[in-house]
Amino acid sequence: MKLILTIAACFAASVIVEVDGKAVHTGFLSRQPFKIGFDNAVHSAFQTSSSSSLTDVKKDFVGAVDIRGGGRSAVLAAKPPAILKWAYSAAGLAVTAAYATIVLTTIRSNQPLGAIMPNWQHPLVNQISVLSAIPLIASSFLSLRKASCSDSWDELSSTSCRRQNLALAAAGVGSCLWINFAATITAVPGSSPAASHAVYNGAMKAALIGAYGSAAALTGAVWRRSLPEDVRNDPLSWPGRVADGVAKSIVSIAPGSVNDPVNVKYALLTSGFLVLTAIQTLGPHPLAVIPSWTGRRISRLFPVWTALAAVTAFDLKESTENGVLATRRTLSNGIKGMGAVHLASKAGAIFLDPSFPGSYHAVVMVPGWAAAAIAFFTLTLRPDE
């Protein structure tokens, strides 16, 4: 009976709820008489019972409610909010739709006006080439959605989930910058009047930036929430923490065991995707068209996804070394899906596009790099067994 009265008191009383250390509500328990009676009831209820079930209830109760001096109480967040999984789903769909819109409206005839494709196969196979990022995007958001359904923040606070959140936030910010400066990035050299392959204005520009920006805000916020409390409350320490993490990952790319072919595979994929990201971001034209094969249209946007692929491959490398690769099937399937679609697009370009190689001017100028990129992507299809 005392236990029932205690529980009733808990529900009837209004407690201070803390979110990230901030009190958001104060109620009756803040008054001293109520606090004394409440404390006595709790003490009496737990002291007069020796049953194991009551002991378990006590542990759960104490773990959920922190009775502080002056009657301040706090309900500690035991698990991520239920809405978070839906937020990840919405963000993933928004990013996928925004990226597909950019690809389909940029790689087509009359973009810019007068730029006519040689045949219908040409834009199709090149659209597929860069749409190969969609399986990777979906796997990343899906893995985080699954982590958000766990009973605590432990999973989202893991190194793997932190990397995924941070990589998606960076990809969102990078995509917003590309959209904003698309007219300059995709400008056609020597055209008169000045023309660009991609120009976004008005509602279209706002919608695309909104999709990427909201996803970046979500993943960035979850990344921040997953940090240790002392770091979370010190934003000035974040850049150094990120830099240290990146540096540590770079020097840890080598496989833990060269005798494990799966470990070696993911180490090579991490290195290769990093190289491709650097080439597309910093390399001059025509080298920057590798591996997208999209000329100036999407070649400077695709690296945000090869960077995500590098992060994912590194996560899988570490999972292999830690013996938990079987729990990362969602991410490994994303890498495989990206590789399969990408290689299918290259087969289509070479064997199904009547304009090959004549219409692939930039690719023809760097045939060695193009062949090496194709060979590299075949590594994504190697089984994990």
**171-210 confidence digits (pLDDT tens):** 999 999 999 999 999 999 988 778 999 999 999 999 999 9
Domains identified in the chain, total number? 2
Angle (CA) 75 80 82, round 5°? 105
- Both 203 and 112 in one domain: the answer is yes
Domain range for 51 is 2-75
- Both 146 and 280 in one domain: the answer is yes
Distance, first Cα to last Cα, the chain: 58
Which token pair is 187? 């400008």
Distance in angstroms (rounded) separating the CA atoms of residues 21 and 225: 12
> What value does the mean pLDDT of the chain take?
85
Q: Which of residues 75, 94, 112 is at a domain's end?
A: 75
Provide the pLDDT for residue 190: 85
Q: What is the DSSP string of 283-329?
A: SPTTGGGTTT--HHHHTTTTHHHHHHHHHHHHHHHHHHHTT-GGGGH
- Both 34 and 92 in one domain: the answer is no
- Both 194 and 211 in one domain: the answer is yes
If pLDDT is split at 50, 70 and 90, which confidence band does 124 have?
Answer: very high
- Both 68 and 125 in one domain: the answer is no
- Both 118 and 41 in one domain: the answer is no
Q: Is 18 helix (H, G, I), strand (E, B) or coil?
A: strand
Q: Is 0.85 surpassed by the pTM of this model?
A: no
Cis peptide upstream of residue 112 (ω within 30 degrees of 0)? yes
- Both 95 and 230 in one domain: the answer is yes
- Both 130 and 13 in one domain: the answer is no
Task: Please check the confidence at residue 376 and state whether its pLDDT lies above 60.
Answer: yes
Q: Which of residues 19, 46, 75 is at a domain's end?
A: 75
Closest CA to 356 of 368, 348, 365: 348
Closest CA to 197 of 301, 308, 52: 301
Answer yes or no: are the C-beta atoms of 13 and 27 closer than 8 Å: yes
Provide the pLDDT for residue 354: 97
CB atoms within 10 A of CB 95: 26
- Both 129 and 28 in one domain: the answer is no
- Both 255 and 331 in one domain: the answer is yes
Q: Which stretches of the chain are DSSP H helices?
A: 2-12, 32-47, 52-64, 83-106, 121-131, 133-148, 159-180, 182-185, 202-225, 229-232, 238-250, 261-282, 295-298, 303-321, 329-351, 361-365, 367-378
Q: Which of residues 75, 92, 123 is at a domain's end?
A: 75
Provide the pLDDT for residue 78: 65
Kind and range of the H or E element at 65? strand 65-67
- Both 93 and 186 in one domain: the answer is yes
